[in-house]
Structure 1
Amino acid sequence: MEAPLAADLLRRLTHDHAVPGAQLTILRAGDILSVTSGVTRAGTTRPVTADTAFALGSVTKAFTATVAAQLVALGDLEWDDPVAEYLAEFDGTEDDRFSAVTLRHLLSHTAGLVADHELDDARESSLARYTASAATTSPVHEPGHCFSYSNTGYNIVGRVIETAGDMKWQAVVENLLLRPLGIDPLFLSGGPATGLRTLADGHAVRPGPERTAHPVDPFVPAGWAPAGGLAGSADDLIALAALHLGTRPDADTLLPATERAEMAARDPHADAFGMADGWGLGLAHYASPDGPWLGHDGTADGGTAHLRLHPASGTAVALTTNATTGTLLWADLVDALRAHGLPVGDHRPTLSTAPAVTTGPDRFTGDYRNGDTRFAVRSRPGGTALRLTDATGLTADLALHSDLTFTARRTDTDTAPYTGRFVTESADGDVVLMQLGGRSARRTPAA
């Protein structure tokens, strides 16, 4: 794809999805194509440039996992040692399951930890105090048993990195990875922002025929820096991709091939239902007509980031946006790139062919809990449909099928729908679990 065609495509898609600004970078056959569109804040004329930083959300986890792999290569960490060997905060925990958690478990989201643990003081940046607090929670399942996406786990990885690197997480990431990749770091949480880069504002786009982007203030708890506290550009994401592809001249020095392969390998216990087609150590697996791609998606307050890389061909694609509708833009971009001969990997959940559930929804109503996160599932007026809410303002209507899978479409903001499922006890068929967005939440008695 030539640059003018890519620029026109990005301009059209940002317009169609009411996204104020975006970046698209493609690495193919050793050549890098980088285009931008729009502005950093709606209602202004400040253009997005290749250097503009966007909130990366959970794509931060790919950087955190890479640093952990670098420390494994240096001999400072081991994939399968219990992380309690590095963490004084795990000493004396009441739940023995913490003592069995390994770095591999944390990076593959199979540690069984709660998804979104937060401290009472969102400004608290100490990962030691965060980890000590997380160690008082009750795990969702046994380590290594199954997949349950966990920001908590990645924040604990940040603490492991601190103890192994003998510096704060931000300093280790900057010194071991960002600076060597030529990335001027910009941290949104857990420390002062560094560098002179412009940060794009996030925007919420409400559903409706006249979609308008409204600026929103970003919020990342300070203790969540390793899980979602980085900002960067699409070019920065491609720099990380080139490291994992091994196409950088210094790739084997920064991250040896053995550790790259370990991160890329699919974990047989990581069934990331509704989120990806599989998971490795910090990198998700995405299906494509030319085989699996690796990468990660991220959402932040009013923004999205997407990274894909294809080791077999040395190809990579990165997109950053500053609107909630960036997830919809990404899906359309993947389709457009595939039509132009670039079969980007993406997870497209198979739509259920089972009949829709139109009666008896009370079987599924109740409260579902994962640590501090509580989802409420209630019958909508009329009693034939379900609505899902949580304490953050999430409101979504559920389209439920008889195979217990569902599609959740948000009503509070315009974004791509989620795929989830209810899980029953085999003995009596009672619903005991809801899986949504990669997270598992156990059913509790309705309030």
Structure 2
Amino acid sequence: MLAELAERHRVPAAQLVVRRGGATESSAAGVTSRAAFPLGSLTKPVTAKAVMALVADGELDLDESLEEQLGPLHRSRTPRGLLSHTAGLPATLREEHENLTRARWAARFDEEAFPPGAQFSYSNPGYVLAGHLVEVITGMSWADAVSTIVLEPSGVVPAFTAGAGGREVVAGHSVQSGHRTVVLDGPPGPAIEAPAGGLALSAEDVLALLDADSARMCDDQVAGMAVGPFGLADGWGLGWARYQTWWGHDGTGDGTSAHVRFDPVTGDAVVLTANASTGPALWRSVLERLAGRGMVVGDHPFSSLPGAGDPVPPPAAAPGRYVNGGLVLDVTTTSGGGLALALDGRPYAALTCFSGHRFVAEELTSARMAYTGRFVTGPGDAVTHVQISGRLSRKL
């Protein structure tokens, strides 16, 4: 199945592990089962597991202020807020901070995009802070700490996109039109962001990390909030995301993707790693094929709105400027009456609106990726925010 679907989606290498009813099947196409794939944001639950280990050891309290560990700038932040993306932090780091060490950055990071604890907004800086918190408490680097606390006790040989760890990391590929596939061998992302996306592991490695501690992290922290993780998941725990009754996380990198879903009650799980920009499409095909075999895995489509019906006219109050930290989004009306989205002043996507102020944003780039989003309204149906793939931006 994996070989067939990987060929269909032009994915050069992939790994698939399925655990069902206590039995495990593992498969690899174009690579060995031990090859390490960049995990992207699937790194975040591993950082969260390190934080939760410190909580279990009494070194941290989930709801105590981080002022003692990180300084007065972090008085309003808690470990729970960082791990559940409810700390009110920006979606991304500012470019001018990317070459700083985590210690120097944390000592000056005083940004707050939203009131802490009031809403969900996916945040890379939140996990950079979580990684630095682990460093401060353990006295080790983030890489050494997650290796010692999380990976090695599970029998996992550490590997990182920066090349540390002694394992070769699979390169990503861009699948382009005309049956052209291009190898992407650029440098890894900024070192400061490693706790949010710097791990590289195999699908079998990821499965080995799904233990009892993972199940304890599956307590929905955003249930009842006015703004949840729309466009990403159905709920969010302490590191893991909720997809109906399943839990897991997705991660994308430069021409790579990684996906995991697990049922904390039955122990059933699915893990896929892929080294092409079409990896998310391969993931959807894998889930469809598994459903045909009687294994229905919870998911939250990020590129479509199932059952949305026909497109509708956009909300009249939608156009405007929206901000999230240093991220600036401009929504404008097109000559045809639709909506267009610009990212930091550059045309980025066309928006197709549906009922409930929801929309699908289709990139104008060659990749033509699609993402779901919505306009969030306040009193009098006034548009106050826009949310795309779980990232919230406030209307000026």
TM-score by length of 1: 0.82
1:104 match = 80
1:52 match = 35
2:13 match = 21
Instruction: For residues 191-243 of structure 1, give each alpha carbon's deviation from its aligned partner in whole angstroms, at most 9, with x where no partner exists.
Output: xx33332211112223x5x34322222542111111111111111111111x2
**Matches of 2:366 and 2:220 in 1, distance apart?**
33
- Kindly indicate whether residue 393 of structure 2 is the aligned counterpart of residue 424 of structure 1: no
**Matches of 2:387 and 2:179 in 1, distance apart?**
30
2:233 match = 276
Displacement of 1:324 in angstroms is 1.5
Displacement of 1:356 in angstroms is 2.5
- Kindly indicate whether residue 195 of structure 2 is the aligned counterpart of residue 265 of structure 1: no
Q: For the structure 1 residues 121 and 99, does the alpha-carbon distance in structure 2 shift closer, same or farther, using more than 3 Å as the test?
A: closer
- Kindly indicate whether residue 394 of structure 2 is the aligned counterpart of residue 439 of structure 1: no
2:340 match = 387
Work out whether residues 422 and 433 of structure 1, in 8 Å CA contact, stay in contact via their aligned partners in 2.
Answer: yes
Q: For the structure 1 residues 150 and 280, does the alpha-carbon distance in structure 2 shift closer, same or farther, using more than 3 Å as the test?
A: same
Instruction: For residues 117-152 of structure 1, give each alpha carbon's deviation from its aligned partner in whole angstroms, at most 9, with x where no partner exists.
Output: 13525343x2112222322x2x22211111100111
Equivalent of 1:369 in 323, 329, 339: 323
**Matches of 2:290 and 2:187 in 1, distance apart?**
30
**Matches of 2:249 and 2:345 in 1, distance apart?**
23
What's the C-alpha RMSD, in Å, of the aligned pairs? 2.2
Q: Percent identity?
A: 39
2:199 match = 230
Displacement of 1:401 in angstroms is 2.2
**Matches of 1:413 and 1:32 in 2, distance apart?**
38
- Kindly indicate whether residue 388 of structure 2 is the aligned counterpart of residue 405 of structure 1: no
Residue 281 of structure 2 aligns to a residue whose secondary structure is helix
**Matches of 1:154 and 1:239 in 2, distance apart?**
22
Residue 5 of structure 2 aligns to a residue whose secondary structure is helix
Q: For the structure 1 residues 392 and 10, does the alpha-carbon distance in structure 2 shift closer, same or farther, using more than 3 Å as the test?
A: farther
Residue 104 of structure 2 aligns to a residue whose secondary structure is helix
1:167 match = 140
Structure 2 counterpart of 1:386, one-letter code = L
**Matches of 1:262 and 1:184 in 2, distance apart?**
24
Q: For the structure 1 residues 26 and 53, does the alpha-carbon distance in structure 2 shift closer, same or farther, using more than 3 Å as the test?
A: same
**Which ranges of 4 or more aligned residues in structure 1 deviate by more than 4 Å?**
391-394
Equivalent of 2:173 in 203, 227, 231: 203
**Matches of 1:351 and 1:31 in 2, distance apart?**
32
- Kindly indicate whether residue 59 of structure 2 is the aligned counterpart of residue 76 of structure 1: yes
Displacement of 1:51 in angstroms is 1.4
Work out whether residues 70 and 107 of structure 2, in 8 Å CA contact, stay in contact via their aligned partners in 1.
Answer: no
Displacement of 1:350 in angstroms is 4.6
Displacement of 1:354 in angstroms is 6.0
**Matches of 2:67 and 2:343 in 1, distance apart?**
32
Q: For the structure 1 residues 27 and 416, does the alpha-carbon distance in structure 2 shift closer, same or farther, using more than 3 Å as the test?
A: farther
Q: For the structure 1 residues 218 and 407, does the alpha-carbon distance in structure 2 shift closer, same or farther, using more than 3 Å as the test?
A: farther
Residue 94 of structure 2 aligns to a residue whose secondary structure is coil
Structure 2 counterpart of 1:436, one-letter code = I
**Matches of 1:157 and 1:384 in 2, distance apart?**
44
Question: Which range moves more in the overlay, 323-332 or 194-203?
Answer: 194-203
Instruction: For residues 285-306 of structure 1, give each alpha carbon's deviation from its aligned partner in whole angstroms, at most 9, with x where no partner exists.
Output: 112xxxx111110111111100
- Kindly indicate whether residue 37 of structure 2 is the aligned counterpart of residue 37 of structure 1: no
Displacement of 1:168 in angstroms is 1.4
Work out whether residues 215 and 264 of structure 2, in 8 Å CA contact, stay in contact via their aligned partners in 1.
Answer: no
**Matches of 2:19 and 2:119 in 1, distance apart?**
34
Residue 96 of structure 2 aligns to a residue whose secondary structure is coil
Work out whether residues 119 and 133 of structure 1, in 8 Å CA contact, stay in contact via their aligned partners in 2.
Answer: no
- Kindly indicate whether residue 308 of structure 2 is the aligned counterpart of residue 356 of structure 1: no
Equivalent of 2:296 in 343, 349, 354: 343
Residue 183 of structure 1 aligns to a residue whose secondary structure is coil
Displacement of 1:412 in angstroms is 1.8
Q: For the structure 1 residues 393 and 284, does the alpha-carbon distance in structure 2 shift closer, same or farther, using more than 3 Å as the test?
A: farther
Work out whether residues 362 and 379 of structure 1, in 8 Å CA contact, stay in contact via their aligned partners in 2.
Answer: no
Q: For the structure 1 residues 211 and 390, does the alpha-carbon distance in structure 2 shift closer, same or farther, using more than 3 Å as the test?
A: farther
Work out whether residues 324 and 415 of structure 1, in 8 Å CA contact, stay in contact via their aligned partners in 2.
Answer: no
Structure 1 counterpart of 2:373, one-letter code = G
TM-score by length of 2: 0.91
Work out whether residues 97 and 105 of structure 2, in 8 Å CA contact, stay in contact via their aligned partners in 1.
Answer: no
**Matches of 1:146 and 1:375 in 2, distance apart?**
19
Displacement of 1:34 in angstroms is 1.4
Work out whether residues 352 and 359 of structure 2, in 8 Å CA contact, stay in contact via their aligned partners in 1.
Answer: yes
Residue 154 of structure 2 aligns to a residue whose secondary structure is coil
Which runs of 5 or more residues in structure 1 are unaligned? 1-8, 39-47, 247-254
Which runs of 5 or more residues in structure 2 are unaligned? none
1:184 match = 157
Would you say how many aligned residue pairs link Structure 1 and Structure 2? 390
Question: Counterparts of 1:86-105 in structure 2 under 5 Å?
Answer: 86-88=69-71, 91=72, 93=73, 98-105=74-81
Work out whether residues 257 and 274 of structure 2, in 8 Å CA contact, stay in contact via their aligned partners in 1.
Answer: yes
